[in-house]
Amino acid sequence: MTAFASRALRARESFWFLPAILGVAAITTAQALITLDRYLDGRDFGAWGVLLYRVGASGSRDILGAIGGSMLAVAATSFSITISVLATASSSYGPRLVRNFMSDRGNQFVLGIFGSTFLYALMVLRSIRSEATDGASFVPDIAVNVAVLLAVVDVAVLVYFIHHIANSIQVSTLSARVRTELVAVVDELYPLSVPDSNTPKVDLVGGVSIPATTSGFVVAVDEAAVLKAACAADGVVELAVGPGDHLIAGEPVAWATGSTDNESHSELVNAVRSALTLGDTRTPTQDIDFAVQQLTEMAVRALSPSTNDPYTARNALAELAVGLVPLCERPTPQLGRLDTDGRYRMTVVRPAAADLIDKVFDAMRQYSLANPLAVIATAELGRRIGTATIHPEVSAALLRQLAALRRAYITSGADPVDIDTCLARIDAACAAIAVSA
């Protein structure tokens, strides 16, 4: 993903983006229809005239005032409902899931359509002139009729919003959205086949550090731009960070070798820095660790004493399997990149599948021991990944994690019946993984 595409995606997912577009469209449409009304003012539409509702200047002001005022009130109510849902989701499923509501197209569209209807009514209202007060009469009848149609549409949008907001807070909807993001980042970073331009990593010797100029999380890396810059400088660039890493100004983002010419080296340094998009928060666009973390956090929070919802935890682990099983079925991505002439040019960063699995199982071992359903779901996750993986290191990590889970659960003080049941499921998972390895 290019740096421009990354910034465009972040703007597109911002809560203000779609409402702003709709607001500008409303103002533009209002001005266009007012201009059309001025052009057609006084003309006879014949039989089609019955479709145009004319109520005069006073009546039009009343209609537009009612529409604008009511839409502003409905928009305020919608904002209040959305904020309430955000607070509930943040406390129940984790604050990092709030971005799913902020980037939700349905929420943006509803709030945008209410706000744009208000702006439209306001712009049309200011154009009405009455002969008694202004000396000349002008009523934009077409624009007023369109305002009435927008009000009818807004009623349908309000009904949709109530349904959408109730559906969006359900656990299945939340986990499905995060799972979709996880699958997308797996497909991007861990393709089914290794491209011909990839090659095993080559350790860089004698590279010059390229320090960061600002602090923040690495949101995206434009690897194509880095490769192009390395080719232009006839050098090699080894990236030190990847999406999800946190940088402090002065820390190295990469090491580079190449032309000793100051101008060429300066261009390479600037190109590498420009290829990294930094932000205040992590996103799952290129950050697979964050995508996995969101579902893991959902499972962990569901097991807290205040929530005590093992079924949500089990659902989150099942969604994790949808992303992690394909990941472990695919070849390990090569970290090296070649130019068109076959010369080594760049080293990229990718999290290892075994490391991702360790983070999930470490968290579940610490927080699931008080609930047998969660322990069984964790063992089932291990079995599903372990019987599908093609990587010996992943199988070894799963067997190690399941053995640790078994030891921890034996000493957890759970009821003997639960211990026997959970140990049987853990042992069955380990046996299945051992056979598949």
State pLDDT tens for residues 179-218: 999 999 999 999 887 776 677 877 776 778 899 999 999 9
Q: Is 282 helix (H, G, I), strand (E, B) or coil?
A: coil
pLDDT tens digits, 26-73: 999 999 999 998 888 766 655 455 456 677 788 888 999 999 989 888
What distances in angstroms separate CA 249 from CA 6, 215, 253, 298, 331, one per listed residue?
21, 5, 10, 32, 35
Confidence bin at 6 (pLDDT 50/70/90): low
344-347/236-239 β-pairing: parallel
Of 13-17, 330-334, 391-395, 417-421, least confident by mean pLDDT is 13-17
Residue 391 has pLDDT above 90, yes or no: yes
List the one residue out of 16, 33, 17, 18 whose CA is nearest residue 120.
33
- Dihedral of alpha carbons 84, 86, 87, 89, sign: positive
Q: Model confidence over 352-390: pLDDT tens digits? A: 999 999 999 999 999 999 999 999 999 999 999 999 999
pTM for the predicted model, two decimal places: 0.79
Closest CA to 273 of 240, 319, 301, 295: 240
Nearest to 380, CA basis, from 334, 322, 333, 318: 318
Whether 61 and 111 have beta carbons less than 8 Å apart is answered as no
> What pLDDT, on the 0 to 100 scale, is given for residue 340?
86
pLDDT at 103 over 60: yes
Residue 130's pLDDT is: 67
Distance CA 254, CA 240 (A): 5
Residue 275 buriedness (CB in 10 A; 0-12 / 13-18 / 19+)? buried
Nearest to 103 by CA among 82, 74, 75, 118: 82
User: How far is the C-alpha of 248 from the C-alpha of 212, rounded, in Å?
Assistant: 7
- Output the CA–CA distances (angstroms, integers) from residue 139 to 56, 120, 147, in the order listed: 7, 15, 13
User: Rounded distance, CA 116 to CA 66, Å?
Assistant: 15
| Mean pLDDT for the chain overall | 86
SS3 content of the chain, % helix, strand, coil (to 5): 65, 10, 25
d(CA 318, CA 128): 60
Beta-sheet strands, E only, within 261-366: 276-279, 336-338, 344-347
